[in-house]
Structure formats: structure tokens, C-alpha cells
Structure 1
Amino acid sequence: MKGSLIIVGFFALGTVFGLSRVLPFDIAQTDVSFYALAALMFSVGVSVGSDPQTLKSFRSLNPRLVLLPVMTIAGTLTGSALISLLLTHRSLADCLAIGSGFGYYSLSSIFITEYRGAELGTIALLANISREILTLLAAPLLVRWFGNLAPISAGGATTMDTTLPVITRTAGQQFVVVSIFHGFIVDFSVPWLVTLFCSL
């Protein structure tokens, strides 16, 4: 949760800098966000490639649990599509793009800002941070009401990093591999799905 608050703090600081014109306006018109995105994608690749144990542990996974990330993706997109019916000022593609962040706010918000502008990118940032924070806070209730897989599905792409400790504590140590696998697959889908829906 500390990491989420730091990200929000930097976002707020950037907003203040932008409003007060402390930095030259030309910075916003350059490819800074593109290079930040490229660096972020590189760091994601390094983190996945540097931990071969994670990939090996996937082999011991129950085949039925392989469907969990698929159902998380399908459920999130279905919910986003239903929400678009209420948000008449937002298109279906916009809502699906935001939902496709699956809690991965740093990556998805940069993509959406690049394709659709800063306003929608900001909404994506806040929506995906909210998903992570709600998972962190509500994990015990999710386990009690819906079962051990509920906080994993709710956590989306964050289940292999920031929400993993609370999932382990509330769902049990036996769900660590499931949580990491789920986070890995959902995480991998983010750039593809966000790009797809932003292109529509």
C-alpha cells in the first residue's frame, strides 16, 4: 500500500508542477512518456526473466486453476462493459481499456494517456490504484464471503507482488503459487488488451 501512496503522491506533485508551470511546457509535448513506458516494459521483462523459480513452480499447478486468470479477465471486462451502460459520456472502448489495467496502474495509465489523453489516463490510474487498495483492505472479507480464490481474482495483476502478502495471510500459504501464476498471466495481458481497446 505504501508503494501505491508514493505513486499517487508523485502524480499529485506532477499535477501541481503542471498547473504552476514550474517546468517548461515543452516537456509535456515530447516523448517522455514513451521512454518511461519503454523503461517500464524493460523492467517488467527483467523481473520475470530473473526469477526462473517462478516459471518452474507453475508446473505443479492444478490444471483447473489455470482458468482463474482467464475468468478474472473475462469478469473484469464484463463488469467494465456493464459500467459503460451507466457512464453514457464514456465509450465502451474507454471503459474496457480502463478495466484492462487489472490493477497495474503504472503501465496501463501510461498506455491510455498515450492513446487517449491525460484525462482518461488519470481515470485509469485512480481506478487501478483503487482496485489494489480495495484488495489489500477487503481480502479477509473476500475470503470469508466468497472463498480463498476471491482475493486473488480481485487483485488482478497485483497478485504476484503487492497483494501477495495479504493473500498469503488470508487465503493460506497453499495459494502462493496460484497467486503468482494468476498475477503473471493477468500482468502479461495488460499491454495487449489496453492497446487493443485504445485502438478501437
Structure 2
Amino acid sequence: MTVKILLAVGFGILFGLFIFPVNMATYMSTFISIGLCILLFFVGIDIGRQENIAKKVKELGLKVLLVPLMVALGSIIGSMFGGAILGIPINQAGAIGAGFGWYSLSAIELAKHSAQLGTLAFITNVCREIIAIIIIPIIAKYIGKLESIAPAGATAMDTTLPIISKATDGNVAVISFITGASLSLLVPILVPFFMILQ
């Protein structure tokens, strides 16, 4: 799975460099949205084919929210620790970690404070998504299916959901969607919150 993903990205880069018409670049976000919707449609079919998913999620109850809570805590604490090593103020490092991989929103929000901070948030969260795409199948195979949701962060509900679904099963895909949605709701709350902590 990881090799296929890397090959697809590599071929995409080559196609973009040498073949893709420059005048079509303005429509790239539309193409990405269409492609993502098609992927998510098939993930939805796969989830729908799983029996008793709604029953299993209901049995988990509020425990299902422990996954996004732990991912949020790990992301923020980890980014604060990394920020301390790099000499970044703890609140700014926490704000970057609270982006949870949603690079567009966190970068825009933090760019209001400084261009450097917005750029760092963008690079950090893009790198998180790229690393997640590569390591999700590895984590699912060698560590655990539920644990494979953690690297994805907020993207667990969209961009990386097809990868998680392929590497795990329908039950984990549902928890992944819930995790991604929960973290996405937290980003616009937590990023500004950390920036007011001086």
C-alpha cells in the first residue's frame, strides 16, 4: 500500500512537471475535490458493507471520543516538546500542534500573528499529512489498527480516510471519521486559544 501511494505521488509530480497544461492549474483544487469525493464515496460503500457498524459504535458510546482526545493531547504535547528543543515559545508550538494536520486553516490563522509562524504551521501540518500517508499502513500492520488513526489527525475524516480504511477495516474507518471530524472541530478553537496564552 505504501509503495503504491509513493509511486502515485511520484507519477503525479512528473505528470505535473512535464505533461499537465499550465492553464489548467487554476482548476487543480476542483480536480482534487472531485477525486477526494470519489475516494470517499467508495470508502462509504466499504463502510456500508460492514455489518452492525452502527451497533458497534453505539456500544462504544462516549469511549469513541477517547481516540480524538488522545490524538489531540499527543499532538499538542509533542509539538510543545519539539518547540522547546527548537526555542519556539510554548504557546506558539502548541498552536502549531493544534492544527492536527489541517494545514490550510492553521496556517491562515497563525499567519495573522506572523508570516513566519503561518509558514511554519503550513510546513509542519503538510509534513504530518505526508508522513501519515506513508506510515499508516505500516502502523496498522505492525502496531495496531486503531493506532493507525493517530498520525492522520484531522485528515482522518477525508484525505487519509481511504488509506486507513484500506489498511484496517470498516469499524476502524468509522472511528477514524469520528476522530477526524472531532479534531477538525477543535482546530478553530484551540489554535487561537493557544495564541492568546502569552
Both structures adopt the same fold (TM-score exceeding 0.5): yes
In the TM superposition, residue 144 of structure 1 has moved relative to its aligned partner by 2.3
Quick check: 1:125 aligned with 2:117? no
Letter in 1 for 2:156: T
What does the per-residue CA deviation read over 1:37-74, in whole Å, with 9 as the maximum and x for residues that have no partner? xxxxxxxxxxxxxxxxxxxx696361322210000011
Taking only aligned residues, the RMSD between alpha carbons, in angstroms, comes to 2.4
Structure 1 equivalent of residue 36 of structure 2: none
Quick check: 1:190 aligned with 2:187? yes
What does the per-residue CA deviation read over 1:120-156, in whole Å, with 9 as the maximum and x for residues that have no partner? 1011001101111111111111112320012211100
In 2, distance between residues paired with 1:147 and 1:166? Answer: 14
In 2, distance between residues paired with 1:138 and 1:113? Answer: 29
Work out which structure has the larger RCO, using CA pairs closer than 8 Å and 6 or more positions apart in sequence.
Answer: 2
In 2, distance between residues paired with 1:154 and 1:137? Answer: 10
Structure 2 equivalent of residue 144 of structure 1: 141
In 1, distance between residues paired with 2:108 and 2:76? Answer: 19
- Equivalent in 173, 176, 179 of residue 173 of structure 2: 176
Q: Percent identity?
A: 35
Structure 1 equivalent of residue 30 of structure 2: none
Letter in 2 for 1:170: A
In the TM superposition, residue 196 of structure 1 has moved relative to its aligned partner by 0.5
What does the per-residue CA deviation read over 1:4-57, in whole Å, with 9 as the maximum and x for residues that have no partner? x99xx9xxxxxxxxxxxxxxxxxxxxxxxxxxxxxxxxxxxxxxxxxxxxxxx6
Deviates more, 1:170-179 or 1:70-79: 170-179
Structure 2 equivalent of residue 70 of structure 1: 69
In the TM superposition, residue 103 of structure 1 has moved relative to its aligned partner by 0.3
* TM-score, with length taken from structure 2: 0.69
Query: Any unmatched runs of 5+ in structure 2?
Result: 17-53
In 2, distance between residues paired with 1:126 and 1:188? Answer: 21
What does the per-residue CA deviation read over 1:80-127, in whole Å, with 9 as the maximum and x for residues that have no partner? 121122112x1001110100000000111000001x211110110011
- Equivalent in 80, 105, 108 of residue 106 of structure 2: 108
Letter in 2 for 1:156: G
Letter in 2 for 1:131: R
Query: Any unmatched runs of 5+ in structure 1?
Result: 10-56
* TM-score, with length taken from structure 1: 0.68
